[in-house]
Structure 1
Amino acid sequence: MRKIRTATFVSLDGVMQAPGGPTEDPRGGFRHGGWVFPFFDEALGGLMDRAMGDDYDLLLGRCTYEIFSAFWPHQDDEIGRKFNAVNKYVAAGPDTPLDWAHSHRLEGDLAEAVRALKATEGRDLLIQGSGEVIHTLLANDLIDQLTVLTFPIVLGHGKRLFDDGSRPHAWTLVEGQTTPAGVVVGTYLRAGEVKTGSFADDEPSAVELARRERWADKA
C-alpha cells in the first residue's frame, strides 16, 4: 500500500497560496505571490529535498498541475528531471488537457479514486500545493504524513492549508528543524484521535456553573 504525504509551504497564519512568484496564483486578489523567495537558502533547499524524498509519484490538483506543467517540462535541473519522469496523478475534469508526460487523470469521486490508488503497489504519493486536494483527503483521513514548512510571515488572506472540513486528528512530530532564516520545518505522522482533558476544578463554583449554563444555550 502506498503512503500519502505532503510537503507544504505555509505562512504563520496558514496561507499556502502562490509561494513561488507574483504571477503564480493571483486569484482572489492575492498580492503576495512569491513570499517564499526571500527565505530560500541552501539550508531550506536541503530540508525541502529531505521532505520530498527520493521515491515518489506526484498527486496534484488541477490548479497546481497547470502551474507545474507550464514550468517544469522546460527545466533541466534535478527537480525538473524528477518531476518530468515520475507519474502525475491529477484531480482534474476532462476539460483540463494532461499533456505533461506520465500524467493520469483521477476519475469520479476524488476520495474514492485516491483510496483505490493508495491501495495499489507503488511509490509514495507526494502532494505539492493542491490545497483543495489536501482538504478533501484530510476530511477523509487519507493523508499519512504532513511536512509543513512554516515561514515567519503573516499574509492575512489567501488559500489555507487547513479548512473547516479537516477531520479532527492527532499528529506526532517526528522531525523538526529550523533554518537560519527562521523557517520551521516539521514532519508529522498520524497519531489517532484527538485526546482532551480539563484543568477545571472538581467542584466548580456557583459562578462557573452559571457561566456553563449561559454558554450551553449558545452552543
Structure 2
Amino acid sequence: MRKIIVGAMISLDGVMQAPGGPTEDPTHGFKFGGWVMPLFDQEFGEELDRLFGNPFDLLLGRKTYEIFAAYWPYYDENAPDGGIAKQFNRIKKYAVSRSGEVDTGWQYSVLLRDIADVKRLREEDGPDLVTQGSTELVHALLANDLVDAMSIFTAPVVLGGGKKLFTDGSAPHSYKLTRSRVSSTGMMIAHYERAGDIKTHGAELDSPSDRERKRQERMKREG
C-alpha cells in the first residue's frame, strides 16, 4: 500500500492559497499571491528536497494540476534549479477531477474521478503519493482518513483570509513529529507521520467547586 503525504506551505493563520505567485490563484479576491517566495532560502530548499527525495507520484486536485501543467513542462530543465522540473515531468501525475474536465496532456498524467479512485490507488503497490496545494482534495483526504504523513512549511506571515489547509470535518488523529527545522527566514518546517488515536486527560479538581458545577450546567444549556 502506498502512503499519502500532504505537502503544504501555510501562513500562521493556516492559509495555503497561491504561495508561488500573483497569477497562481487570485480567486475570491486573494491579493497576496507569491507570499512564500521572499522566504525561500537554503534550509527551505533542502527540506523540499527531503520531501521529494524518495520515489513518489504527484496527487493533485484539478486546479493545482492545471497550474503545474501550464508551468513545469515549460521550465528549463537545464537551469541550475531545473531539477524539480525534470523530476515532475518524468513521474506520474494523478489529477483528481469530479467533472473530468481537465486536459491531462502533460506526459504521464492520469485522471481520477473521485475519492474512491484515490482510495483504490492508495491500496496499490507503488511509490508514495505527494500532494501540493489542492485545497479541496486535501480536505477530502483528511475527511476520509487517507492522510499518512504531512510536511508543513509554516511561514511567519498572517494573510487574513484565503483557502486553508484544515477545515472542520477532518478525521481525528494524532501525528508524530519526525523532523523539524527553522530556516534563516523564519520558516518553520515540520514533518509528521500518523501516530494513532487522540489521547485526552482531564485536569479537573477531585471535587468540583459550586462555580464549576454552575459553569458546566450553563455550557450544557448553551449547547
Q: TM-score scaled to structure 2, two decimals?
A: 0.95
Aligned to 2:117: 113
Q: Considering only aligned residues, what root-mean-square deviation do their CA atoms show, in Å?
A: 0.9
- Secondary structure of 1:138's counterpart equals helix
Structure 1 residue identity aligned to 2:110: H
What are the residue-to-residue correspondences of 1:1-219 with 2, within 5 Å? 1-75=1-75, 76=77, 77-92=82-97, 93-107=99-113, 109-110=114-115, 112-219=116-223
Q: Which runs of 4+ in 1 moved over 4 A?
A: none
SS at match of 2:186: coil
- In 2, distance between residues paired with 1:53 and 1:141? 25
Q: Which moved more, 1:141-150 or 1:193-202?
A: 193-202
Contact 1:20–1:33 under 8 Å retained in 2: yes
SS in structure 1 at match of 2:142:
helix
Q: Is the 1:173–1:189 contact (alpha carbons within 8 Å) kept by the matching residues of 2?
A: yes
Structure 1 residue runs of 5 or longer lacking an equivalent are none
Alignment-mate amino acid for residue 99 of structure 1: G
State the SS of the aligned residue for 2:207.
coil
- AA matched with 1:86: I
Alignment: residue pair count: 217
Offset from partner CA, 1:86-121 (integer Å, 9 cap, x none): 0011111322111111110113x31x1111001111
- Structure 2 residue identity aligned to 1:175: R
Q: Give the 3-state SS of the residue equivalent to 1:64 in structure 2.
A: helix
Q: Kindly state the Cα deviation for residue 54 of structure 1 after the two structures are TM-superposed.
A: 3.2
Identical-pair percentage: 47
AA partner of residue 206 (structure 1): D
Post-superposition CA distance 1:171-210 (Å, at most 9, x none): 1111111111111110111111111111110100111101
Distance in 2, matches of 1:21 and 1:116, equals: 34
Q: How big is the shift at 1:53? A: 2.0
**Structure 2: tracts of 5 or more residues without a match:** none
Q: Quick one: distance in 2 between partners of 1:178 and 1:95? A: 40
> In the TM superposition, what is the alpha-carbon distance from 1:161 to its structure 2 partner?
0.3
Q: Tell me the secondary structure at the aligned position of residue 164 of structure 1.
A: coil
Q: Distance in 2 between matches of 1:207 and 1:11?
A: 39
In 2, Cα distance between equivalents of 1:8 and 1:169: 18
- C-alpha distance in structure 1 between counterparts of 2:55 and 2:12, whole Å: 29
CA contact (8 A) 1:7 1:52 kept: no
